[in-house]
Amino acid sequence: MSAVIMSFALTYAQIALALAACLAGYRLLYGPRAQDRVLGLDTFYATAMLLFVVTGIRVGSPFFFEAAMVIGVLAFVATVSLAKFLIRGEVIE
């Protein structure tokens, strides 16, 4: 019984998150402006991170959690530096 519930919920969550990543990827590819692309990249990172957490639940291994955390840190650094670039045209002043 609970195996059915869990497998349904996990499959649903994985499909929904993959779809969300695709939609964010659409924004990343088709812009139309640079800030839209950066926002798309940020959302893409966030959904990928959540997808890692869900995969970790399915497999039952804590190692996916560490990967998810690294993705989260990378997302922050990437988005901040890209936004800084959009404001000033250079990252390090």
Partner 1 sequence: MSYLDTLPPWIAIPVAFFLILGSTLTLLGAFGLARLRDFYDRLHAPTLGTSWGAAGILLASMILMSWNESEPGWSGLRPVLHELVIGIFLMITTPVTLMLLGRAALHRDRIEGTPGIPGAVERADVPHRPTGEEADGEAAPEIDISDAPGEN
Q: Nearest-CA neighbor of 91 among 55, 38, 22?
A: 38
| Residue 6 in the binding site for partner 1 (CB under 8 A) | yes
Q: Nearest-CA neighbor of 36 among 45, 26, 46?
A: 26
Question: Nearest 5 degrees, angle CA 29-CA 30-CA 32?
Answer: 130
| Residue 70 in the binding site for partner 1 (CB under 8 A) | no
| Residue 8 in the binding site for partner 1 (CB under 8 A) | yes
Structure tokens at 66: 């560490």
- By CB under 8 A, name the binding residues for partner 1: 1-3, 5-10, 12-14, 16-17, 19-21, 23-24, 26-27, 31-40, 42-43, 46-47, 49-50, 53-54, 56-58, 60, 62, 65, 68-69, 72-73, 75-76, 79-80, 83-90
